[in-house]
Structure 1
Amino acid sequence: MELNHDTLNLEADPLESVEQAVIAEQYAYERDDTELHIAVPGSWRDHQIWFAWRPELDAMHLCASLELKVPEKRFRDACELVNRINERLYLGHFEVWSEDGSIIFRHALSLPGGEGMNAAQAAGLIGAAKEAGERLYPAFQYLIWGGKSVSEAVSAAMFETAGEA
């Protein structure tokens, strides 16, 4: 299928769509030409999320810090926990950075050939990052500060609820 370039907005800035979604939700944010940083309120803490537009890759990159550092003695356990969690995620993934032990959530949206991004897509990315952080922050806390095993941390955070309370 050939793209009709007349219908593409080749000058579109995908960060504009992110900014529209952020303004609609009234989140605090800062923006420059290639990045947008937001603070999204959550149950455990505010989620620090940043978007970076990578035109050379035609990709919108999202990164959210859990603002947790893994002590060296728990690094292997944290990596195993990340692996088990990532097996169950539909969108994005967690990482433990070897450089400083930071735990982050990452996701990207491919926008090839000048394809645009809308505010609903941006809101979906923000929602995915917030949901992952809300749901899985306790697992990392149990492991790092609670001294729990990887299995205990996964069990505590990955249960599925049924029905309504």
Structure 2
Amino acid sequence: MTLDEFESARDNGAPIDMLEAYFSAHGWTYEKVGEDEIIASMDGSWTKYELRAVWREDDRVLQFLALPDIKAIPEKRGPLYETLGLINEQLWLGHFELWSSSGIILFRHAVLLEGQDDYSLSLEQAELLVETAIDECERFYPVFQFVLWGGKSPQEAIAAALIETRGEA
């Protein structure tokens, strides 16, 4: 399926199947893990991302994770928890987490498919789910790098990474 064919197909589908079609249309590598999970990978502008979706039919929730290739060393976890708090205050959908067992930083959000008889996912929902995760990871990736490797405080890292330019050079 091409991206154009996918975008013209506005039918709803089973959540994992819709994401499979979305990943395929973008040419991303993916693998279904049973009927309720899919894992994909894609290259962003900063790093490679693992995208993971898990469908919880009992709860009617599709959870979506984006894992940028960032791992926190134990010495930097304190400043990273502060960084996560400051970043998460700015987010409308989803949040960043630091998994304590592995030091992995990830972005997580979910969609509740309650109230639909077939618990289907629309193209618009699939796009919002995936694009929000990738956009937020791309937006905040430099912040994490400044804290981890640049020696900046969380406040300095956010200020340095999120400078808004105006006009044209």
TM-score calculated relative to the size of structure 1: 0.86
Give yes or no for the alignment of 1:21 onto 2:25: no
Aligned residues of 1:38 and 1:50 also touching (Cα < 8 A):
yes
**Residues 164 and 24 of structure 1: CA distance in aligned 2, closer, same or farther (over 3 Å):** farther
Aligned residues of 2:40 and 2:51 also touching (Cα < 8 A):
yes
Q: Secondary structure at the match of 1:112?
A: coil
Alignment of 1:10-159 (within 5 A): 13-32=14-33, 33-113=35-115, 114-159=118-163
Aligned residues of 1:21 and 1:120 also touching (Cα < 8 A):
no
Q: Secondary structure at the match of 1:16?
A: helix
* Alpha-carbon separation, structure 2, partners of 1:139 and 1:120: 29
* Alpha-carbon separation, structure 1, partners of 2:31 and 2:63: 16
Instruction: Tell me how many residue pairs correspond in the alignment.
Output: 154
* Alpha-carbon separation, structure 2, partners of 1:146 and 1:122: 35
Please give the per-residue CA displacement for 1:63-102, whole angstroms capped at 9, x wherever unaligned: 1112222122211110000000011111110011122221
Aligned residues of 1:40 and 1:130 also touching (Cα < 8 A):
no
Gap regions ≥5 residues in structure 1: 1-11
Gap regions ≥5 residues in structure 2: 1-12
Identity of aligned residues (%): 37
Q: How far is the alpha carbon of 1:162 from its aligned partner?
A: 4.2
**Residues 163 and 30 of structure 1: CA distance in aligned 2, closer, same or farther (over 3 Å):** farther
TM-score calculated relative to the size of structure 2: 0.84
Q: Which one-letter code corresponds to 2:68 in the other structure? A: L
CA RMSD, aligned part only?
A: 1.6
